[in-house]
Amino acid sequence: MKRKILIPLILLIPAACLVPILLYIGVLHINNPSESKYPIRGVDVSHHQGEIDWKKLAEEEISFAYVKATEGSGYKDEQFDRNWSEAQATGLRIGAYHFFSLDSAGATQAENFCNVVTAVEGMLPPVVDVEPYGGYKDPDKLDKEKMLSELGDYISIVETHYNQRPILYTTEEWLPVLQERFGDYDVWIRSVYKKPNPSVKWTFWQYSNRHVLKGYSGVERYIDMNVYCGDEKEFYEYK
């Protein structure tokens, strides 16, 4: 009897070890949003994906791509011009995003983004990425008033320049801070280890940072995957 019990237990050990490996290499995924409920999927990319074959990537059952453009007041992603130009030749809807620095004035960051990103027809709203980094991990230790003021300057300039309301990309931990002043802006929520809290009203959801697709060959093996909150008609009318 003991032997009969022991054999299945022994067989479970390799399986238990295999699951985290498959999660790590991007074969299994923690989040698997329903394709019927969320049919519109897309990626966000930067120089980490290297030189992208946009024709091949566009064939990976995606509908949109966000491309990193800038960071802070002086940084421009080294692959942005190539990505922005070649992505336009696909059937994808494209948009650009800026990584917001907490060490730089919002106005000069907006100037950086607007100087780099030339608007194109059908462009998705610009995104400002506000998330923990470096020494800014805990939102409770921030000078919130200063951050929100600088972010307000950034958003105001970008919104006027493109005549589109920017989307706020952030985490669930930081969202309440941003919503103190920008509660009526659309949200792109990052939640790669679980589903977003039902109380979070999101427009885009980054549900995975460990997908592997065809069409890129950078130092980063993985690519971020996202879903849009509506159907195809709503997505192509969204601006």
pLDDT in tens, 140-162: 888 999 999 999 999 999 999 99
pLDDT at 132: 86
Q: What's the whole-model pTM score?
A: 0.88
Instruction: Report domain extents, the chain.
Output: 1-30, 31-237
Q: How confident is the model at residue 48 (pLDDT cuts 50, 70, 90)?
A: very high
135 exposure class (CB count in 10 Å sphere: 0-12, 13-18, 19+): exposed
Q: Hey, what CATH topology would domain 31-237 get?
A: TIM Barrel (3.20.20)
Residue 139 identity (one-letter amino acid): P
pLDDT at 19: 39
Going by their DSSP bridges, the two strands 187-190 and 204-211 should be labelled as parallel
Q: How confident is the model at residue 137 (pLDDT cuts 50, 70, 90)?
A: confident
